[in-house]
Structure 1
Amino acid sequence: MKIVAETERLILREIQLTDVDGIFELDADPEVHRYLGNKPVTGKDQVVTQINAIRQQYINNGIGRWAIIDRKTGGFIGWTGLKFVTELINNHRNYYDLGYRLIRRYWGRGIATETAHVSLQYAFNKINVNEVYAMADCENVASNRILQKVGLNYIETFDLEGIKHNWYKIEKTGFENKIPDR
């Protein structure tokens, strides 16, 4: 198990097959998938496929989403981090994407903001990327607020599979290495 980063209350580590139950709880919840195309998983076999794909990203790209673990309980909270996107999205390809997804009972505690900031620190200070992008469904007020809070700048609105999304970007030179307000 590779720990990537730690905060006072969280551990960020590589996702493993042992996370199948936590990821199933996360991705089977229709409310979690409300702004993700409304396609919750229906079986743990789908989760195993997801985990294997993420683990392959670690091998292929040296980066992939990370599990968020509660430091006190050891429980799975969700995932966060960077993904190297090779497919064409909004006329961009081969870029680092910031993302996060939490089990619903952990919403509203500043965890997504905290882990997004740590992910940006990792991007700019550890792997030395020059820019990070992110996107959020225009109607997902919470996610749009988080991206702005950690310093990403709104660039434009674009259509992704018939749904309007906001496109964001932050450059290394614009990143302030401070913890944002939760």
Structure 2
Amino acid sequence: MEIFASTPRLILRELIPADAAGMFELDSDKAVHLYLGNKPLSTIEESREVIRFIRQQYRENGIGRWAVVEKESNRFVGWAGLKLVKKPTNGHVNYYDLGYRFIQKYWGKGYATECAQACLDYGFNRLRLENIYAMADAGNAASKRVLEKAGFRPDGTFYEEEILHNWFTISRETWQSLHG
């Protein structure tokens, strides 16, 4: 199992089939899915399928979302990471998207910001990307705050599935100026 990044409190590693119970706890929660189209999962088999899908992205694209494990407890707390998005979104195609999702009891601990920074470091310093993008439901103030704390800048709005989203961008140059 590959570890992609480590922070003072977290390990970001590849998602594995053994993460299915944690993924189900995460994705079956309506509160977690409030800004994700309100489509929580209803079976653990759906979580297994999500993990298989992400592992396929590792094989095809060399990147995908990573499991986030709390070092102190060794517990699965959610996922974070970069994903190569091949379908057109807000006028972009074949771009790297930063995303994260955490089990509700781990909200408010700063884990999303910690992971976002580790993912940006990986994207700019290991993958040598020029730009990384992110989006958040326009009503999700907490997610927008995380992205801005990580260094992203708002770059307009767009509709996806009739829901208004904010688009965020960060360049390698901006990242380096913040972490030079």
- Give the TM-score, by structure 1 length: 0.96
Pair 1:53 & 2:56 matched: no
Shift of 1:177: 7.2
Asked whether the equivalents of residues 154 and 166 of structure 1 are also in contact (C-alpha less than 8 Å), the reply is: yes
3-state DSSP class of the match of 1:175?
Answer: helix
Q: Distance in 2 between matches of 1:47 and 1:7?
A: 26
Shift of 1:178: 6.0
Q: Distance in 1 between matches of 2:35 and 2:17?
A: 26
CA-to-partner distance for each residue in 1:7-46, whole Å, 9 max, x for gaps? 1111110000000000000000000000000000000111
Asked whether the equivalents of residues 137 and 164 of structure 1 are also in contact (C-alpha less than 8 Å), the reply is: yes
- Give the TM-score, by structure 2 length: 0.97
3-state DSSP class of the match of 2:81?
Answer: strand
Correspondences of 1:150-165 after superposition (within 5 Å): 150-165=150-165
Pair 1:63 & 2:63 matched: yes
Q: Distance in 2 between matches of 1:177 and 1:10?
A: 25
Shift of 1:176: 3.8
Q: Distance in 2 between matches of 1:17 and 1:100?
A: 19
Q: Distance in 2 between matches of 1:87 and 1:28?
A: 26
CA-to-partner distance for each residue in 1:34-93, whole Å, 9 max, x for gaps? 000000000011111110010000000000000000111110000001000001111111
Quote the sequence identity (%). Answer: 49
Asked whether the equivalents of residues 152 and 169 of structure 2 are also in contact (C-alpha less than 8 Å), the reply is: yes
2:81 aligns with 81
Return the letter of the residue paired with 1:121: D
Return the letter of the residue paired with 2:5: A
1:91 aligns with 91
Q: Distance in 2 between matches of 1:29 and 1:57?
A: 24
The gaps in structure 1 that reach 5 residues or longer are none
The gaps in structure 2 that reach 5 residues or longer are none
3-state DSSP class of the match of 2:117?
Answer: helix
Q: Distance in 1 between matches of 2:156 and 2:48?
A: 35
Correspondences of 1:1-80 after superposition (within 5 Å): 1-80=1-80
Asked whether the equivalents of residues 64 and 81 of structure 2 are also in contact (C-alpha less than 8 Å), the reply is: yes
3-state DSSP class of the match of 1:149?
Answer: helix
Asked whether the equivalents of residues 121 and 177 of structure 1 are also in contact (C-alpha less than 8 Å), the reply is: no
3-state DSSP class of the match of 1:32?
Answer: coil
Q: Distance in 2 between matches of 1:51 and 1:178?
A: 34
Q: Distance in 1 between matches of 2:177 and 2:28?
A: 35
Asked whether the equivalents of residues 96 and 133 of structure 2 are also in contact (C-alpha less than 8 Å), the reply is: yes
Mark the CA change 1:109 to 1:176 in structure 2 (over 3 Å): closer, same or farther: farther
Q: Distance in 2 between matches of 1:133 and 1:104?
A: 24
RMSD across aligned positions (CA): 1.1
CA-to-partner distance for each residue in 1:133-182, whole Å, 9 max, x for gaps? 00000000000011111111111110010100000110000104768xxx
